[in-house]
Amino acid sequence: MQKIKKRWEISKNWQLIHPFLGAVMVIATSYMFARRLLHLFQFNNTVWEWVLVPVIGIALYFLLIRFFMWCFKKLENKWKVAHKWEMIAIFIVFAITGSLSGKLAAPLTEWIGLGRNTVNGFVYWTARILLIFPIYQVILIVVGWLFGQYKFFWAFEQKMLKRMGLGFLFR
């Protein structure tokens, strides 16, 4: 436990939630990818699924962890945060925000009358993708605030919108 605390600059026990939550999310992601991969090859509900899901899931877990550690090293100097554990919190916020905005866009698209079965597929997907953007912006700030990273995400939001030519929204 001391190694984890030292590596991620954790000074209070409540901060341990970030590395553990990050590990749990990577485990869940690895499991879901492994299941989907096997379902693509029609191995669902077979003995092979029970054997291969843990094997592929563990392999994906270690690959994803290595990838995220590489990302941490690349972004450590770019993202100015006080402690390394905050990097984990930021990654978790991005993961939750991206997934949640994608999930919320589908019912919102249906609600405004552009359902998958009522309009052309091109119109549906264009509307859904266009709706993801504002949903993402709002959720990013809210989830960032919940994880104690409001200051980082507010600055990130302003920088992103200015680069897109929407900086007038903050005047």
Q: Is 22 exposed, middle or buried (0-12, 13-18, 19+ CB in 10 A)?
A: buried
d(CA 122, CA 29): 29
- Angle 85-111/121-146 helices, nearest 10 degrees? 140
Q: Tell whether pTM > 0.75.
A: yes
Residues 28 and 51 in one domain: yes
**Residues 88 and 50 both lie in one domain:** no
| Cβ atoms of residues 85 and 8 within 8 Å | yes
Q: Which residues contact 4 (CB under 8 A, 6 or more apart)?
A: 10, 16, 19
**Beta carbons within 10 angstroms of residue 154's beta carbon:** 15
Together in a domain, 72 and 33: yes
Q: Which long-range contacts (CB under 8 A, 24 or more apart) does 40-49 make?
A: none
What is the number of domains present in the chain?
Answer: 2
Instruction: Report the pLDDT value the prediction gives residue 27, as an integer from 0 to 100.
Output: 95
User: What is the structure's pLDDT at 149?
Assistant: 93
> Quick one: pLDDT at residue 55?
92
Tell me: do 90 and 23 sit in the same domain: no
Task: Tell which of 22, 43, 76 closes a domain.
Answer: 76
- Looking at the fold, whether 61 and 89 belong to one and the same domain comes out as no
Regarding whether 167 and 92 lie in a shared domain, the answer is yes
pLDDT at 169: 72
Kindly state whether residues 93 and 169 are assigned to the same domain. Answer: yes
Q: What is the pLDDT of residue 171?
A: 66
The residue out of 47, 76, 105 marking a domain boundary is 76
> Within 10 Å of residue 83's Cβ, how many Cβ atoms?
14
Q: What is the mean pLDDT of each run of 10 residues along the chain (171 residues)?
A: 83 88 93 89 80 92 94 87 89 94 91 86 89 92 94 90 79 66
Q: Which residues contact 53 (CB under 8 A, 6 or more apart)?
A: 31, 34, 35, 38
Q: Are residues 30 and 101 in the same domain?
A: no
Point out the domain boundary residue: 51, 76, 101.
76
- Domain containing 113 equals 79-171
Asked whether residue 146 falls in the same domain as residue 167, the answer is yes
